[in-house]
Amino acid sequence: MKQHFDEHCIFCKIIKGEIPSQKVYEDEQVTAFKDIHPAAPIHLLFVHKNHTQDINHTLAESPQDILDLFAAIKSYTQKERLDDRGFRIITNLGVDGGQSVFHTHFHLLAGKKLPFQLA
Ligand code: 5GP
Ligand code: ZN
């Protein structure tokens, strides 16, 4: 398994267990935990154990990681039956996207009818 950590990255520290988190899912490649500032009744962050800084870097450096992440999301949402009522996946890139943690992650939002706001 390809795995690279960034020693200053908060999500790498969560993956290694150096910072506590409420983990809800784990497999060989991917971890998911509750967002510390939930924006919906269910707000989880899916992160690959291989550090890359955003989705464009992931696609360039390690494209399989994207498939690993979506496979984990599919597995989790089916097991928890979140696909019955549906959910939303978001990833942010850069300043205008509002990215604040530079370790590629997908937000999973669910648990209510989500409002759609562009800004
Ligand atoms: P971004 O803004 O980069 O798309 O998303 C980063 C997310 O990480 C934010 O929603 C923020 O609440 C969450 N977050 C930041 N630091 C921590 C932390 O230490 N623990 C957890 N569980 N979530 C965090
Ligand atoms: Zn990282």
Dump pLDDT digits (tens) for 6-20.
999 999 999 999 999
Question: Nearest-CA neighbor of 90 among 68, 65, 62, 117?
Answer: 117
In the three-class reduction of DSSP (H, G, I as helix; E, B as strand; rest coil), residue 46 is classed as strand
Does the beta carbon of 100 sit less than 6 angstroms from any atom of ligand 1? yes
What single DSSP character describes residue 8?
T
Q: Mean pLDDT by 10-residue block, N- to C-terminus, for the chain (119 residues)?
A: 90 98 98 98 98 98 98 98 97 96 98 87
Find out whether the beta carbon of 87 lies less than 6 Å from any atom of ligand 1. Answer: no
Q: Enumerate the domain spans of the chain.
A: 10-57+69-110
CATH superfamily of 10-57+69-110: HIT-like (3.30.428.10)
State pTM to two decimals.
0.97
Query: Does 53 contact ligand 1 (Cβ within 6 A)?
Result: no
Tell me, in angstroms, the distance from the centre of ligand 2 to residue 60's CA: 16
| Cα(63) to centroid(ligand 2), Å | 16
Query: Residue 98's pLDDT is what?
Result: 96
CA separation for the pair 43, 83 (Å, rounded): 15
